[in-house]
Amino acid sequence: MTTTVQQAAQIEGTGTNYEVAKLLDVRDRTRHAIYKIAAGISPGMVEEDARAMARDVLRSLGMRRGWHHVITRLGANTTKDFMALSEKGVTLGRNDIFFVDIGPIYGDTEGDAGETFVVGDDPAHHKAKHDVRAIWEDVRARWFSTGATGQELYDFAQQEAAKRGWELNLDLSGHRLSDFPHSAHYDGPLAEIAFRPNPNLWVLEIAIVHPERQFGAFYEDLLLEDQSFPAWALSAGPAPQTGLAEPSQIVAPPRRDGTEAEQSTEW
């Protein structure tokens, strides 16, 4: 299916509050939140408690609202689709794997980050953590160096996952990000767009599943010309202060077609 220039511009639209500098600042703070949450998850913790702790961490960082729910997936639940309910009572083992996926709103700007962590020394878990990031980097390199469409990027991702012995979960296949809410412009997956996605607007998601065992891995980040992070964003230490405001509630404008856009969710 061919997308016109006008259609692509609408899909990649932004609101009046969109600023690249704010988007990148929130990206750093969201990644930092991931590391703070992960630092609080340890063997013996039940997934429901990990999720409650994650909400507390986000509130402590001024991220009281989100455009999607807080996700902590432990053990076998790492194979679940985005909207699937976790099996209840799953406890992190001494040799186990988990990931954290959060979509906070900070000020008027959306964040999104997801990353996998491993406890213990199971080689397959460590391979999953390594490979999901390696596949992400390979797909990002294809995006950066070619005119590949969103559809082509995820065709390539499937090939790269298979080469490494994994199944790609296409339920998690990328999406827009902007000032809240991106759904006013486009709420479909990156994997379905028929043009080259521009930087500073799209999240590339890679989710892989072991073909035989009950676990998987996940990584996501914005597609940018420079993917680097400041050191503090990749640690559980303190974060610098910011001048971005934190409104108590954000009311989303309607989508372009006049339907109601998603509203923010309080943790």
181: domain CATH number is 3.90.230.10
Question: How many domains are contained in the chain?
Answer: 1
User: 41: helix, coil or strand?
Assistant: coil
Cα distance between residue 165 and residue 163, in whole Å: 6
Is residue 248, in this structure, part of any structural domain at all? Answer: no
Q: What is the pLDDT of residues 67-115, one digit of tens each?
A: 999 999 999 999 999 989 999 999 999 999 999 999 999 999 999 999 9
**Regions in the chain scoring below 50 on pLDDT:** 243, 245, 247-251, 253-261
Question: What pLDDT is recorded for position 246?
Answer: 53
Is residue 263, in this structure, part of any structural domain at all? Answer: no
Question: What pLDDT is recorded for position 240?
Answer: 85
Is residue 252, in this structure, part of any structural domain at all? Answer: no
- 53 contact partners, CB below 8 Å, separation of at least 6: 37, 40, 41
| pTM of the full structure | 0.92
Is residue 261, in this structure, part of any structural domain at all? Answer: no
Is residue 157, in this structure, part of any structural domain at all? Answer: yes
- 251 contact partners, CB below 8 Å, separation of at least 6: 263
Question: What pLDDT is recorded for position 244?
Answer: 55
Question: What pLDDT is recorded for position 1?
Answer: 57
Is residue 147, in this structure, part of any structural domain at all? Answer: yes
Structural domain harbouring 200: 5-223
Is residue 209, in this structure, part of any structural domain at all? Answer: yes
Is residue 256, in this structure, part of any structural domain at all? Answer: no
